[in-house]
């Protein structure tokens, strides 16, 4: 089975993100300090949206020739709405 490089990149970014989440969870359990736990959690708050944007960009780059500019704009607008709605 041959995997597309784009799929591997997208899955790899998500895997790295999940590993960061797991490491942060262990660090929170190990630290036993609410202030430090909140700092770690705040840092993770940046990871999620960043990974969302990166994975979408990788996917759109692969599909750029197949999608119209209008559809790409709709997808990017959707990302902006997701990020704005979760603030």
Q: Give yes or no for residue 2 having a pLDDT over 80.
A: no
Q: How many CA atoms lie within 13 A of 30 on its CB side?
A: 7
Q: Tell which residue, 24, 20, 16, has the closest CA to residue 41.
A: 24
pTM, whole model, 2 decimals? 0.80
Structural domain count of the chain: 1
What integer pLDDT is reported at residue 86 of this predicted model?
77
The pLDDT value given to residue 64: 84
Confidence of residue 74 (pLDDT cuts 50, 70, 90): very high
Is the pLDDT at 1 greater than 70, yes or no?
no
pLDDT tens digits, 30-47: 999 999 999 999 999 889
Calculate the alpha carbon distances from 42 to 18, 38, 39, 54, 64 in Å: 16, 6, 5, 19, 33
Domain coverage including residue 16? 5-85
């Amino acid at each position: 089975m041959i995997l597309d490089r784009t799929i591997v990149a997208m899955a790899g970014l998500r895997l790295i993100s999940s590993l960061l989440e797991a490491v942060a969870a262990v660090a929170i359990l190990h630290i036993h300090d609410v202030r430090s736990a909140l700092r770690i959690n705040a840092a993770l708050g940046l990871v999620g949206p960043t990974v969302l944007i990166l994975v979408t960009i990788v996917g759109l780059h692969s599909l750029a020739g197949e999608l119209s500019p209008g559809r790409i704009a709709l997808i990017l607008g959707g990302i902006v709405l997701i990020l704005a709605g979760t603030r």
